[in-house]
Amino acid sequence: MRAIPKRRRAVLLLAATAVLAGCGGGGGVAEPPVRQANLSTNTLQLAVGVATFPDGSQGLNVVSTFRQPGGLSATLVNTPTISGPFTNPAPASTSCPGSSFIAGLIGRAYLAGFAQYSGAFSVAGAAGTDAGTHTISGSPQVAPANPVACTSLGEGGGVFAYGLSLQNQTPDQTLNVGPAYWYPQPLFAPRLQSPVRYVGGPPAYPNVRTGTYPAGFVGYPQGFLTFAIGAPPAGSYSLNVLVPAANAASATFNASAAIAAPAGLPPFAAPPSVTEDPAAGGGLTVSFVAPAGVTESIVDIVDIGPNAAGSGSNPAAPVFYTLVARGSGAQVVTLPPNLGPVAPNGSASPSILPGDNYVVSVIGADYPLFEAGPPANTAATPTISGANGQADLTFAPPNGNFSVAGYSSRTRSPLSRGTK
């Protein structure tokens, strides 16, 4: 091999250095190749209808889905705005503090237009800047300590796989699940009306209180959010969803629906009848008569403690159960015994623990309320309206064994009697 003259070697060295200098790219290291989602594959759906409350009053029911092709929630942060021919009647009295994640759940509920939810059904709805307008909206997220817009749905409100909830992601990346992340319904309810968090549990939905589900996750969404704005006017309603992004272009999704039959479903004639299983196991039998027009009813039972056992990494009460009945007329459904949270050693616990308070709520719907929701339904565009093109609901007066402001128990529990 022919030797390279020394002088040329030096030149080669410098040349090599220069070539390597070209690798510097001006001194920066490129960001890793992040795979961005294609937001355009997401699908937003809206259905609206009339919600008939136990006292016969009516409000607006909003059913929405915002999903990826596989059925999961489209995004983890978004800001919705509902518009329609209604006028938001809620007062604007809520003062909105600066955005601060340290405020936690209290802040979320507060921003959402509620007084602090602490188990006592004391709610005074407010709409902030939505008051007197034709909109019900959420607040765009802002940096901590900056003022956040006062709105009906608050900073935490977004549209997910099945309905609106307070589950907008926060940068601390905690999993926002648990009862406090569901809106108490109906929104804007006057004080002493019955706002309730509707969450799907076993046996209709999988039992998530086995320790194998994420901590704090208590059940599945049922997709509807009702607003006590009075009988909703007929007309076209729209849902606008803004997906804000820090490192990509923001995206906006729109969906619309109409109320053509503003009468809605008739109210329940009576609260459900509840019979407690005299044997151990905490089962219940619930009887009710679904009004005409109802195609399916869901019976949501909530063991609100104080004794409900936790399981796995899940805390204790409330524990949610759901039963489903089809059609209208007389219905009898049964909550099996021993469906309660499963202990770490695998042993079952009673569905309703002795001495616990519980609430039984029956909701009649004229659309496939249960079938459209997760985890069973993984369609991107599930059917969320009934034959009349609406999503109407009717709520029976609650029953059970409870004592909260404005309500008295209809059923005295033999289990509770036995413990008192």
Partner 1 sequence: MLQTCSRVVALVLAFGIVLVPEVAAAGTTGVINGRATGAHDGKPVANASVTAASPSARYTGQTDASGFFAFTGVTPDTYTVSFAKPGFEPFAESGVTVAADQVAVVNVPLTASLKTIGSTVARANRGAYQPAQTQDTYTVTTTQLQTIQGKSGVTDEKSLLARMPGASLDVKGLPVLRGGRVDEEGYAFEGIEQTNAFNGLSQNVYRINSAVGQLQLTPGPGDASSGNTGTGVINLVAKRGTYPAFSSFDVEALAQPFGNQYSAEYGFATKDGRFSNYVMYLGARGGAQYGPFGTPAAQIGTTVFYSPARTFASDFVENFVYKFGRDNRQSLQVLYQNQQYDTTGTYGGTVLPYATSDPYVNFLTGAFLGLSPQQLRQLSTLYPLQQSASSTLGTRGAVATFTPSYTAKLQYTNSLNPSTFLSAKIYETYGVTTSDAPYREARLSTLGVYGAEGGRRDGVALDLSKQLGSKHLLQAGTKYEVNVPTLQFVDPQDALYAFGGIANANSSALYAFINPNDPNPALANCPIDPPSLAGTGRSYCGYLTAFLGANPGQVPPIQQGSHAIRQDYAAYVSDTFAPNDRLKIALGLRLDGAHYQLPSTAGCDSLAADTCQYAQTGSVNGHPVVDVPNSARNPLIPQPRLAAAYRFSGNDAVRASYGRSVEFVPIKLVDQADTPAYYARYANIPSYDAFGAMAAGVPPGQPFPARTCGITADRLCTSFADQLHWTDQMVASGIPIVPAKPETFTNYDFSYQHLFPHNVGLRVTPFYRRGYDAIALVAQVRLNPVTGQPFTNPATGAPQYGVTATTNLGRDSTTGIELALSRETQFGLSAQISATYINEFSNVVPTSPGEDFEPQIPVPSIVLGNMYRVGFISPFTATAALSYRTRSGWRVNPVLTYTRGFPLGVGNLVAGQVNGVFTNLPNTNATGNFSVRGVGGSPAYVDPQNPGTLYKPNVDATRGLPEGASPGGFLSSPSVNADLSVEYSPRPGKSTFGVIVTNLLSRTANSASYFLNDRYQPVATGISGPQTGYSAFPVTFPNHGVGQYTLVEHGNQPYLVLNNQPPAAVRFYYQVKM
Q: Which of residues 109-138 bind partner 1 (CB under 8 A)?
A: none
Of 122-130, 169-177, 228-236, 395-403, which segment contacts partner 1 by CB under 8 A? 169-177
Of 95-103, 115-123, 393-401, 411-419, which segment contacts partner 1 by CB under 8 A? 95-103
What's the burial of 386, exposed, middle or buried (CB within 10 Å: 0-12/13-18/19+)?
Answer: buried
Within 232-251, the residues that bind partner 1 by CB under 8 A are: 243-248
Rounded least distance, CB 17 to partner 1, Å: 5
Q: Between residues 241 and 265, which has the closer beta carbon with respect to partner 1?
A: 241
Distance separating alpha carbons of residues 161 and 170, to the nearest angstrom:
18
Distance separating alpha carbons of residues 332 and 323, to the nearest angstrom:
10
Q: Between residues 220 and 320, which has the closer beta carbon with respect to partner 1?
A: 220
The alpha carbon torsion through 309, 405, 420, 311 (nearest 10 deg) reads: 0
Question: Total number of residues binding partner 1 (CB under 8 A)?
Answer: 88
Which residue in the set 121, 181, 227, 367 belongs to the binding site for partner 1 (CB under 8 A)?
Answer: 181
Within 36-65, the residues that bind partner 1 by CB under 8 A are: 36-37, 39
Rounded least distance, CB 240 to partner 1, Å: 17
Q: How many CA atoms lie within 13 A of 252 on its CB side?
A: 5
Within 372-391, the residues that bind partner 1 by CB under 8 A are: 374-375
Q: Between residues 6 and 420, which has the closer beta carbon with respect to partner 1?
A: 6
Rounded least distance, CB 14 to partner 1, Å: 7
Cis peptide leading into residue 80 (ω within 30°): no
262 binds partner 1 (CB under 8 A): no
Q: Between residues 172 and 420, which has the closer beta carbon with respect to partner 1?
A: 172
Distance separating alpha carbons of residues 53 and 189, to the nearest angstrom:
11
91 binds partner 1 (CB under 8 A): no
Beta strands, E only, 57-196: 58-67, 79-83, 135-137, 158-160, 163-165
Q: Of 261, 332, 328, nearest to 296 (Cα)?
A: 328
Q: Of 160, 194, 152, 196, nearest to 177 (Cα)?
A: 160
78 and 168 in contact (C-beta within 8 Å)?
A: yes
Within 198-227, the residues that bind partner 1 by CB under 8 A are: 210-215, 217, 220-221
Rounded least distance, CB 396 to partner 1, Å: 25
